[in-house]
Structures are given as C-alpha cells and as structure tokens.
Amino acid sequence: MAEKQTSLVCFVTVLLLIQVVESDIGVNWGTISLHKMSPSTVVDLLKDNKIQKVKLFDADPDVMKGLMGSGLEVMVGIPNDMLALLSSSTVASDLWVSQNVSRYMVKGGVNIRYVAVGNEPFLTSYSGQYQSYVVPAMTNLQESLAKANLARNVKLVVPCNADAYESSLPSQGTFRPELTQIITQLVSFLNSNGSPFVVNIYPFLSLYGNSDFPQDYAFFEGTTHAVTDGPNVYSNAFDGNLDTLIAALAKIGYGQMPIVIGEVGWPTDGAIGANLTAARVFNQGLVKHVLSNKGTPLRPGVPPMDVYLFSLFDEGAKSVLPGNFERHWGIFSFDGQSKYPLNLGNGPLKNAKDVQYLPYRWCVANPYKNLAEAADHFKIACSYADCTTLNYGGSCYGIGAKGNISYAFNSYYQLQKQNPRSCDFDGLGMVTFLNPSIGECRFLVGVSDHTTSSGFRLHNNWISVLLIVLWDAWLFLM
C-alpha cells in the first residue's frame, strides 16, 4: 500500500511539474508591417529560439499556412469589427470557424489552442461600441466549435486592456462600474468552458501617460517608490497591476481564475524612454520574474499561465494615434535581427536565417540640389513609409533637415523595392552605395523575400466576400 501511495505521490508530482513547464513565454506576431518576411522564415525564427507559443491578431491565410506542421501553439484572433456580425448570426460563426479553425486543425496542421474574440473590446476609447457584442459572439462561436467537435481543444478568450479595472491600491481592485455586469457574464462563460482571463499590461504606457509615475517602479530592478498595501509591498508596476485584476476578479466571485498575459513589452523608439536599453532591462526583468515562479503578493508561487511578449517584430504600418512608439515594440527588427541581448529562458536570441536583402544601396537627398522644394516630397514619402524615428524622442531625431529628407527618401525607396523611379523626387534624390546611417539612426535596406512591397494585402477569398454579404444583410434587416 505504501508503495502505491508513493507511486501516486510521484505521479501527482510529475503532473504538477508538467503544468509548470506548460507556462511559457510566447510572442505576439503582428503583421501590420511595411517590410514582411515570409511566414516560413518567421516560423523558423520562432523554432530556432524555442518560442513555442504565438498569438496572432487575425487568421491570415499565409501566416496560417506557414504554421502548418510547426507544432507551435497558436492563438488566432477575430478583429473587433467582426463582433457585431458574429454576435447576430450562427451562420457567420459557423463559417468563420470552418474557414479559420477547422480547415487548419488537421493532421500535420496548425495547433490552435485559443481563439481571441476581439482585441481589447472594452477599451475606454471605444466608448462601448463593441461591448454588447462580446458575450453573444462568444456564445455563437462556442456553439460553432462544438458543432465542429473542437470545443474541447480550442478555448475562446477575450484579451482585455488593463483599463477594464481600476484602484488606488491593488487589494481594492474593481472592474469599471459600467463593465461589472458584462465582465461577470464574460468571466462566468470563460470559467464554465475552462478558459483563462487574458489581460494586456503595459507599464510603459503608465510611464508615458503620467509624468509623475516613478520610472523605477515600471521595471523589475527594485524601486524607491514601493507601494504598500496592508501586509503586501509592491516593487514593480506589473505585479501591482496584476494583483489589481486578481482583486477585481475576486470581488465578482472568481478569485482563482487562471490568467494569461496577452501583451506586455517595451518599445525601442519613437518616444522619450522608448529605447534599446530600457526595453532590454524591462523585458529581461519580466522574463526572469515570470520564470522564477515567484507569483505576486496575492498569488504567491502562482505566475500567469503564459506571458506573450509584445511583440515579435516592429510594425511600420500601425496607427501612431497612441504615439510614435506604437511602431517599435519588436524584440526583433523588421528583418528578424535581434535588437538587443535577450534571453527568454533558452539562451540568447538567435537571428533569422537566410534573410534575402535588397542590394546595399540607399536613396538620399542630392547634395548638389537646392532642397527648398523638398518639403512636399518629404510629406508624401512619409505618408507611405515610416518616419516616426525622426520625431522628438526617436533614434533619428536631430540629424538635421537634410538628414530628415534623406531618411524619408530612403524609407520610401526601400518600400518600393528600390525602384529607380522611386528615388527621383523631381531630381532631388540620388542613389548612393555609401551607408548614410548616423550613430543610432539606421537607414534601412529592405528585404526581398516577400512578394508584396506595401505590407497591405487584401485577401479577396470567398469567405471574406460572404461575410461582407452577411453583414450587409444584417444591417438591412436591422
């Protein structure tokens, strides 16, 4: 009997160890880029770095095809603007599941673990426009997954921004009053289906948006501005934010709800405080903290199930409405080269292999021309290309008027795959074979291993057309 008990204890211990190992550092793979590497190259990059979990913001067919047979655990996303349709029609949800989940979950296919229903749909700035669609959409999608015999393997989640809850102290955390009812419904749904609560936490944004926020409290290196909350002391904003959520969940009866960090990271450019050094210190501190299994004061020894770093690459076509830093969150630059030393628990980051670059040449302002008429060309170039590094706080800020023009010209030129005509600018541009980079300001050379040059692609397949027809019909019936 004693031997059986010992065996049982060993078996349970092994199971617990397996559960701990399953907690991991994943990455967000966003694709709103100007220069895209092929999905197969990106998948190889993930595998070379032993990154086993990846979060997507849609179900891009090219990306999903690249993930086939990779064994990587995938979270696919549904954009917010599809929630209304999916909440109103099981035909639409059946169709979405069929085309974006079932078709890939075949032998040798994609290991889809989660479907993210919307992305931060309760964000304050959305003024509630998606709020009423979330739970009905999840209900329809859950039914569709069940019909496809996938409900056991694929879990629905809703990535929430940390502004869904509030408090002056972590232990007093509550959900925003206007969200309490719907969040309670959502969490009840998640709990009944074995799904975690997914939250995005950004200490950088707290620092960026509040001049009084203590800088050292945003990191994991210790602080002179610790927050004391009864018996608990918080030395970093991440733990304080996470425990605020845990307290808010407890107040609606779900204090033990599993939590996944859907997005967390630090940008490297585009704002004061957004730089390589700060990003390295934050991300390395975060990884060390999470992998230590220390947990938080309200959940000691229980770290988040998984943490998805934001993000894998810079995304030069993203909106800069939140700030110019929005295009510079990548731990890798657009060409798959690591920006700074970082160990995710498997050794230093490895760069992408076999990246095919365009020829090493650049477009710059012609030094023999009067650049007084270059302003319009500068604006046009930057309306297509990414020039956010030229702004205050950016790595190229302060390189002078001529430098700014050259940077804009080159960014556009590389975006156009170095088409000779794209460096004309009415005779104000010229091609050079001398790298014009200045200090930390890097003049890029584009990659050539993808067929598109703009980063914007329309997937005019029948599923997209049919969903649009369904949406139009729904609006008509309303």
Nearest to 26 by CA among 267, 373, 261: 261
How many other C-beta atoms lie within 10 A of the C-beta of residue 13? 10
What type of residue is 349? L
* C-alpha radius of gyration, the chain, whole number: 24
> Do strands 165-166 and 174-175 pair parallel, antiparallel, or not at all (unpaired)?
antiparallel
3-state secondary structure of 382: helix
Nearest to 374 by CA among 424, 442, 411, 432: 424
Strand stretches in 93-159, DSSP E = 111-117, 155-157
Tokens of 17: 């160890």
| DSSP 8-state symbol, 18 | H
Q: Which helix (H) or strand (E) holds 380?
A: helix 375-384
Omega within 30 of 0 (cis) for the link into 311: yes
Per-residue H/E/C for 204-264: HHHHHHCCCCCHHHHCCCCCCCCEEECCEEECCHHHHHHHHHHHHHHHCCCCCCCEEEEEE
Q: Which helix (H) or strand (E) holds 121?
A: none
The H helix count followed by the E strand count for the chain is 13, 17
The rounded distance, in Å, linking the Cα atoms of 406 and 436 is 8
> Do strands 299-300 and 429-432 pair parallel, antiparallel, or not at all (unpaired)?
unpaired
Q: How far is CA 384 from CA 63, 178, 309, in A?
A: 24, 39, 28
Q: Which of 73, 120, 315, 326 is catalytic?
A: 120
Q: Is residue 120 annotated as a catalytic residue, yes or no?
A: yes
Q: Is residue 166 annotated as a catalytic residue, yes or no?
A: no
Q: Which of 73, 263, 315, 326 is catalytic?
A: 263
Which residues are catalytic, by number?
120, 263
